[in-house]
Homo-oligomer: A and B are copies of this chain.
Amino acid sequence: MSDLHLRNVRPMGGALADILIRDGRIAGIGAPDAPPVVPVEDGGGAIAIPGLVDAHTHLDKTLWGMPWYRNETGADLRAMIDNERTARTRLGLDPHRQSMRHAILLAANGATHIRSHVDIDTDHGLAMLQGVLATREALAGIIDIEIVAFPQSGLLCRPGTLELVDAALRAGADVVGGLDPCGIDRDPKGHLDTVFGLAQRHGKPIDIHLHEAGELGAFSMELIFERTRALGMQGKVAVSHAFFLGMPDWRRTQTLIGTIAELDIRILTVGSPSREVPEIVRLSAAGVKVGAGCDGVRDTWAPGNLPDMIDRARIIAMKNNLRRDDDLAFVLQVCSMGGAAVMNLDGHGLDVGCHADLTLLAGETLAEAVVSPGTPRPLVVKRGRVIARDGAAVVPLP
């Protein structure tokens, strides 16, 4: 919990101001008429925003820094799942080292919080969880990591997985994961009853990958509605991807979005360019909390994703056809405050009293910052401590 006097920054791209930080919280914003605070950092006129939040990634999957992995699998979901499970062993993927690399790169690029899905399966047991838990401990004070126990290979279709997910939730995972109740387990009622049952038993929230498109995804979503309502889990359920919301039937999706808002179910998007995706402006206008993430980074699934929420903001803007300055500023909002809202983070923001988790961005305006992914972040501050400077974190990549 550090003190810091951050001079010459422009909060949200506005007028120059100083930000005074005491004990890891923002103590003042404006002209420095308060008693002097040390140390002092000069922001050089950069934009200051609340720390970026990668609310949907997979820290246990990246191959960053390993020899180039030749992808011969293509884009079939089940094939990618099965390939990855065996590739982990073949490639010798060390989940602690790899999640350290991934999380440090995210921090260097301005993220202060991560929600990471971590695979739990009968081939690898809790090995990935243990690796990411060790990373969470090693990076305490650098970046906060929330862990979703994620049955990537299926929860029911591979017996023994349920018990492992249960063990993961006892061992430190924060959120119950699920995925494609129809597509993967082939038993939507069984899958969702199990996921919600785990959540009830452990008193933890839920985050479900829903790649299912069109009416199949809408059906799974309706089952999620029923359980959220019946169990009083409003505000505790998130759905990632939600590709079904990209289907062209406007009236149908508007009804679904209305229920999502009513039940305070949160939506996480990565703006997948190749898929129909939920429109963030439309969701937000309906009162739905929306966050964003980089998804898996340079892994056996997706070679093209980078560990950088500004890169992701640009992709989400392009996918959503957002060009206006106010729209680009909104994308940045989704990538910081939106993710924080989805994760129920208390005290995230750029107001007095908030945690001093903040990121400086080069550029004249918020919009320019969003479309300049190649420009290093001048400074990243976590609880008042400088944890990255000019694109490099204060801790080395292992």
Quickly give the copy total for this chain. Answer: 2
Instruction: Identify which of B70, B75, B304, B314 contacts A325 (C-beta below 8 A).
Output: B70
Known A302-B323, A323-B301; judge A71-B367 contact (CB<8 A). yes
Known A298-B371, A318-B304, A323-B303; judge A365-B273 contact (CB<8 A). no
A72 touches B (CB below 8 Å): yes
Q: Which of A367-388 contact B (CB under 8 A)?
A: 367-368, 370-371, 373-374
Q: How far is the CA of A367 from the CA of B75 in the complex (A)?
A: 16
| Pairwise interchain contact B368-A68, C-beta atoms closer than 8 A | yes
| Pairwise interchain contact A324-B274, C-beta atoms closer than 8 A | no
A255 touches B (CB below 8 Å): no
| Pairwise interchain contact B274-A320, C-beta atoms closer than 8 A | yes
Q: How far is the CA of A325 from the CA of B300 in the complex (A)?
A: 11
Complex interface: chain B residues within 8 A of A274 (CB): 318-321
| Pairwise interchain contact B324-A73, C-beta atoms closer than 8 A | yes
Instruction: Identify which of B273, B304, B367 contacts A303 (C-beta below 8 A).
Output: B367
A306 smallest CB distance to B (angstroms): 8
Name the interface size band of chain A: 35 or more
Q: How far is the CA of A272 from the CA of B318 in the complex (A)?
A: 8
The 8 A CB mask of A256-291 against B (1 = contact, 0 = none) is 000000000000000111110000000000000000
| Pairwise interchain contact B318-A273, C-beta atoms closer than 8 A | yes
Q: How far is the CA of A315 from the CA of B305 in the complex (A)?
A: 10
Q: How far is the CA of A304 from the CA of B325 in the complex (A)?
A: 11
A67 touches B (CB below 8 Å): yes
A103 touches B (CB below 8 Å): no
A-side residues, CB < 8 A to B, are 67-68, 70-75, 271-275, 298, 301-304, 306, 314-315, 317-321, 323-328, 363-365, 367-368, 370-371, 373-374
5 chain-A/chain-B pairs, Cβ below 8 angstroms: A67-B364, A70-B365, A73-B323, A75-B323, A303-B370
